[in-house]
A and B are shown apart, each in its own frame.
Chain A
Amino acid sequence: MSEAARERPAGPTGRSLGLLAALLAAALAATVGVCSLFGPLGLGQLSPQMYLARLSTLLAAATAGAALGAAGLGLQGLLRNPLAEPYILGVSSGAGVGVLIGLAVGGIGFLPALLTTPILAFAGAMVTCLAVYAIARRRGRLDPYTLILAGVVVNAFNGAIMLLIHLYIDPHRMARFIRWSMGQVPDVTDFSRLAVAGGAVVAAWAGLLWRAAAINTLGLGDAVALSAGVAVHRLRIEIFLLASLATAAAVALTGPIGFVGLIVPHICRSLLGPDHRKLAIVSGFGGAIFLTVAHTICANIGPWLNISDIPVGILTALAGGPFFIVLLRRRSREIRI
C-alpha cells in the first residue's frame, strides 16, 4: 500500500471538502463585502479609489488571518500541542526580525524590493522554528511545556534583536517601526505585494491541506504514524516549512499579530472535531474572517474610546491572552488526571 493510501483514513470526500471550501469562500467574500461598508466615511461618500484602498486593507487582513489560522493548526497538529501557535512559539517574532532587517537596510541589492521583506521574513521564521524545535527536543521527544518555554526564550531573544535593530534606525523613522511591531493592517496595501504574500499563503495552505491526513495519523503518536507509513521526520520538516512560509507572509503584511493561530483552530476544532482535512480548510477561512472582522472593529471603535486608531494586534492579544490561560489550565488538569 502506498504511503498516501495509508495516510488516508475514511472521512470526508474530496467533493464534500470542496463544497465546504466553496461555502466558506462565499462566507469570507460576504464578510469582506459587509466590512467594506463600515468605515469613517459613509458608503455614499466613498470614491472608487478610497473603496479600493479599503478593500486592499481588508484583503490584507483576510490573507494574514488565513495564514495565521492555517499555520496555527499545522503547528498544533504537528506538535500535538494545543498551545502551539506562531506567535507563542516565536515564529512571528522571528519573521519580525527578518522584516525589521529588511526595513532597516532598505532592501537587498540582488532582490526586487517587493520580495525582500517576504524572503527575509521567511528566513527569520524558519531559523526561529528550527531553534525552538532544537531547544525543545529531548531524546527524540517534544515535551509540550518545554516547547512553550523554548518559544518564550526565543521570543525574548528575538525581542532583544528587534530592540537592537531599533537602535540603528533613524529616530525620526522610529514611530512607524514601533507601530508596525504592535501588529496592524496597513492603511492601504499595494496589490502586487498582496499578490506575493497571498501566493505564499495559498501555497502554504494548500500544502497543509495536502498533508492533513498525515497530521491526523501523527496525532496517534510517532510510533503509530511510522507503522502506518508516515515519514514522520520529513512530515515535521514539511509542516515547519509551510507554517513558516504562511507566518512570514502574514508578518510581512501586517506585523506580528498574536493569538489568531491559537484561537481560530480551537474554535474550529470544537465545532468540527479533530479531522485536520476539514480543519485545514476551516481554520484558514476562519482566520481570514476573524481578522477581517477584528480589523473592522478596531477601525471603527476608536472614536468611541477617544482614540483615533487601535492596532488590531492589541485586540487579538486582549482576546487571546485569557484564551491561552484557559487552555493552559485545562491542559495541566488533563495531564494531572
Chain B
Amino acid sequence: MKPCISLSVLAIAAMALPGCRDERPLPEATEPRVVTYSPALTRMVFDLGLGDHIVGVTDYCDLPDGSEIPRVGDINVVAEKILAVEPEIVLTQQAGAFEAFADQHKDLRVIHVEIDRLADIPEAAIAVSAAMGDAATGQTRADLFNRALQETRQAVAELPRPRTLFLEGTDRPGVHSEGSFIDDMIQAAGGAPAAREIPGNQSWRKTRLERIVAAGPEVLVVKTTAADEAADRDYWMQWKDIPAVKAGRVHMVTDDAWMRPGLHMAELTAQMAAMIHPELAP
C-alpha cells in the first residue's frame, strides 16, 4: 500500500499547489541532484532534511556550518555554472529569469516555487519535497508548521493588537506591507501592521522617517546586521516621536532568517508574538 499512498500524495501535491508551476512528469530519480536558486529555498531544503541533494546554491544562500556546496550564480542566471554541477532539478523563485534556460535545457526540471505569503510556505514545503521524491516529509513538516502557527494565533486571539512595524535599515528604511509574509506574520503574532499606513503600492517599499513617525507604530522590529546593530539601535532610539521608541518597544533582529520565508517562520512568528505581547514571553 505504501507506494500507492506515496504516489497519490505526490499527485495531489503536484495538482494542488498553486505556488508550484511545472507541467512535466515528476522525476523518476529518488535522490535527484538539485540546484536551489534562492536563499529561502536553500534553507527550506535543509530544513526538510534533504540538504544532501543540493549540488549548487547562489552566492546569497546561507549554508549550515561545515557544508561546502558550489556557488553557481547570484541574481543573474549563468547557465554554464549551473550545468557544471549536473543538476536534475533547479528550484527557483524567479520564474522569468529561468524562462530561456528552461527552454534550452529540457532535460532539466526547472521548478518555480512562489513564497510571497505565509500561507505559501507549507505549500512550498510540500512541493519541494515532492519534487525531490519525498512528499511525506513535506506534508509532515507542513502540518507541524500550520499547527505551530495556529497555536500562536490562538494565544494572541483575545489580546489587543498594537500597531507594529517591521523595517530594515535606517535612512529610507524598507517596510513590508500587505501581500508580504512579514505582514502576515505581524497579524498572526497579534499585531496590526502599521506599514499599511505608509503610502505605496508595493508590498516591500522604501519610505521616509517622517512617514514612519506619521504611521505611529507602537512596536518596532528593526532588521539589521550584526555589524550595524548598535548603530541602527542608536539611530532609531533617538526618535521619541515614534510611540514604540517612547515606550521602549524597539526590537532589533539580526538573523537573516527573518527575510527568508520558510518553515522556520512559525518559530519566528512566535518570537514576534512575544515582542508584540511581552506577557506571552516565557
Contacts and interface: CB of A to CB of B under 8 A. Distances in A.
Contacts of A302: 199-200
A151 B195 CA distance: 42
Contact of A187 (B199, B205, B208, B241): B208
B210 A40 contact: yes
Nearest to A303: B199
Contact of B201 (A41, A171, A306): A306
B207 interface: yes
Interface string B170-207: 11101100000000000000000000001111000111
Interface in B128-171: 168-171
A307 B210 contact: no
B76 to A, nearest CB: 11
A308 B256 contact: no
A53 interface: yes
B245 to A, nearest CB: 11
A113 to B, nearest CB: 11
A173 B200 contact: no
Q: How large is the interface on B (under 10, 10 to 19, 20 to 34, 35 or more residues)?
A: 20 to 34
Nearest to B58: A171
Interface in A275-303: 299, 302-303
Contacts of B199: 302-303, 306-308
B240 interface: yes
B233 to A, nearest CB: 16
Nearest to A172: B225
A238 B35 CA distance: 57
Interface in A181-217: 184, 186-188
Contact of A299 (B169, B208, B238): B208
B225 A308 contact: no
Given A47-B241, A307-B200, A179 B210 contact: no
By secondary structure, the B interface counts as loop
A72 B282 CA distance: 62
Contact of B225 (A47, A53, A173, A186): A173
Given A184-B172, A187-B172, A308 B241 contact: no
Contacts of B170: 187
A132 to B, nearest CB: 31
B81 interface: no
Nearest to B199: A303
B211 A308 contact: yes
Interface in B226-245: 228, 238-241
Interface of B: 59-60, 168-172, 174-175, 198-201, 205-211, 213-214, 225, 228, 238-241, 256, 259
22 contacts: A40-B208, A40-B211, A41-B214, A49-B240, A170-B225, A171-B59, A173-B225, A175-B168, A175-B169, A175-B174, A176-B169, A176-B172, A186-B171, A187-B170, A187-B208, A187-B209, A299-B208, A308-B198, A308-B208, A309-B172, A309-B206, A309-B211
